[in-house]
Structure 1
């Protein structure tokens, strides 16, 4: 098997040097460059044309998310594997949207990292279990928000056969508007408003406006 040519980018010198040493000991990995920030990572990739880059997220000068965007745009042939301490939903989602192929946390061992690099170069995605859980939680939250939005837009079922117009007028009665004020607010004639109000009283069993207002409050129309 031809050794994968890899660039390692991490702002912590001890971590970066440890990764370089650890991966270089593997026969199927050839570390061709290292970088301490996103800009250096771009330079190293441009110079060495590696198969993959192992990239930290939180780095100075240019962070890993922006570096991922730039690498995806300028070097789409290079597989990006994120290796970071952070697995929060914002970092995970932004990095994957930016073009990262895989996302590992720094407790991964060297064989797992090497396997992930090979998989990423082959076009496959590998996600740490914690990252998978984060993505599932984010997806569930998004689905719940979408469901709430759909429910909010869905027309309410009105009680006692009230029409939309009658419910609208009942709400205005509960707010204390007079017939004239209701007619002006809804651009209706005075007689039309009176007809609607009579129907509202009949359907809701209300003898007067006070009873109608109480009905509206009980049914969430006030």
Structure 2
């Protein structure tokens, strides 16, 4: 297993460089992938005013378009519903697009806590959640996640039924450690953007995002409390994938 990457702050600065090194327009197959995503979305993910307004307001605020695709958001929603989640922890809010998908899966007395390092993004997300009628269910906390996660633990928050990790990739293994502290047997942990256009297979990579992702995957592989798998995906967001783990002990 690779050595644990050093903690990097701010803990949730969005992966700006990923937009450049995984530009979907550079892939000749991208048009077909996007077309297929659009087909699935048109048939299985109905248009939604609150979600469309969330994307529009995020764009107007200048946030990097790193939100999950609509069909991916629906997948998160379904996974939370299948899990029967009542509590969700999200690490990385951005404009709140995935937050809305996850919060809508919760019962009326459910609770979602989302952690966002960028105060401007957190403000956009709060406004989007309020517009979607989720202000009483979802809470956005501002600050580097590696600072706010200990505060959650000190408050006795959790155990969370589902944790979604989608923040800065160098700190993925640290986020996984905290996810394990804030969950219970039966909880689900999901990590996004783990394929990185295939770079995850390169053990010699010096990219801290790749190294952080590999360290998280290898932690999961050897951890006695986790049963995990990972999937590659192609679509409107290019070539990437996610890891899914269940806490078993």
TM-score by length of 2: 0.31
* Larger RCO: 1 or 2 (CA < 8 Å, sep 6+): 2
Bigger proportion of residues as strand: 2
Asked which structure has the greater CA Rg, the reply is: 1
Bigger proportion of residues as helix: 1
